[in-house]
Amino acid sequence: MLFRVLLFLYLSQPVQGQISINTDSLYKPRHIIFSPNTFSNSVSLNLNPDLQVNSGDTVQTETIDAMGHDKNGVKRQRGGNPLTGPFYVINSKAGDVLKITLTKVSLNRNYAYTTESFVSRSMQGSITKQFKKPHLIKWKLDIENGFASPDSSHISYNSLAEFKVPLNPFLGCIGVAPENKKNEILSFFQGDFGGNLDFSRIRQSSTIYLPVFHDGGYLYIGDGHAIQGDGEIAGNALETSLDVEFTVELVKSGIQQIKSPRAEDSTYIMSIGSDKTLDKAIKIATADLLDWLRQDYRLTLEEATQVMSTTIEYTIAEIADPEVIVVAKMKKQILKQLKNHK
């Protein structure tokens, strides 16, 4: 008995500079408050981890905005989607899956910025070319009442004096170190590693699944948004800083394998596909959703044709970045009717 008590105490405490490996059922997951001092403009394997965490640990941290400013307006990093991380997930290997549950995604300041523009994919060039040098537009964030509105002290829009939109804070970026020649990529790119997904349902209470390509995973988060319409057609959302809390769990290879990011919340299961063309992004997202249904809901291919063709929904989450992001999703309420869900 004494030995087991001592073992429990040992596994519950970190070694200096390192978090103990979760190799025993006695491990007690911890709540870690992490205040970042440095930020990265890439999703990379080549940086020293900011923090090592075990499966089951919860991290409370913060992100800065896309231009590099923190919650106090202090410039902390050059612009271009600076990210918090990397977080090294102990015992994760290539082929595993990181399950990240966002327990908190909240605003920590009362303003945001966006641009006065339309991106080239959104409409014809005769319009988009009028915004060669887009103006930066400040918005007020009424956190107490849950609305955002253009800041009239910054710029005057005659027709928007009473215009306001409901807040929906979410993470624009969440990803792991990619598998490419340099094992890194700039933070405004996206792919099978996640990255700059700009999908508005990556928010509080949602869960993200990311494939692991390297030991430790090297998880990054950032690019906080107060709200964004589908596609991010102005080239920016309402860019701001965030307070974030997440729990990371490790799903070992063989239990679950995925080829691209997935997400779920109380309403949907969601497969995320990205490619330079809309057609290919749709195919990636749809094929992954099919894999999900066949694996977790045990549908045959023939059964899946009937379920998907009658209930699938699509969101074009992002068209402003180098690749288009398409999300194929299905409502959990509908899927509850399937008798073989494991």
pLDDT score for 25: 63
pLDDT score for 140: 97
DSSP secondary structure string for all residues of 136-172: EEEEEEETTTTEEEE-TTT---GGGTT--EE---EEE
Nearest Cα to Cα of residue 317 among 328, 301, 308: 328
Degrees, nearest 5: CA angle 64-177-329: 80
Top pLDDT among 322 and 84 is at 84
Cα 86 to Cα 89: distance, rounded to the nearest angstrom: 9
Residue 11 has pLDDT above 50, yes or no: no
In terms of residue numbers, what domain contains 96?
30-110+166-258
Q: CA-CA distances (angstroms) from residue 177 to 46, 246, 328?
A: 9, 18, 24
The string of pLDDT tens digits covering residues 147-164 is 999 998 877 788 998 999
Task: Give the mean pLDDT of the chain.
Answer: 91
pLDDT score for 15: 32
Q: Give 318's pLDDT tier (boundaries 50, 70, 90).
A: very high
Residue 170 lies in a domain: yes
The string of pLDDT tens digits covering residues 56-67 is 999 999 999 999
What is the separation of C-alpha 167 from the centre of its chain, rounded to a whole number of angstroms? 17
Joined tokens for residue 95: 């082929």
CATH of the domain at 192: 2.60.120.580
Residue 190 lies in a domain: yes
Residue 302 lies in a domain: no
Residue 281 lies in a domain: no
256 secondary structure, DSSP code: -
Joined tokens for residue 94: 């290539």
Residue 296 lies in a domain: no
CB atoms within 10 A of CB 292: 23
Three-state secondary structure call for residue 73: coil
> Is the separation of the CB atoms in 38 and 51 below 8 Å?
no
Joined tokens for residue 4: 């087991």
Domain count for the chain? 1
Exposed, middle or buried by CB within 10 Å (0-12, 13-18, 19+), for 244? buried
pLDDT score for 338: 93
pLDDT score for 342: 65
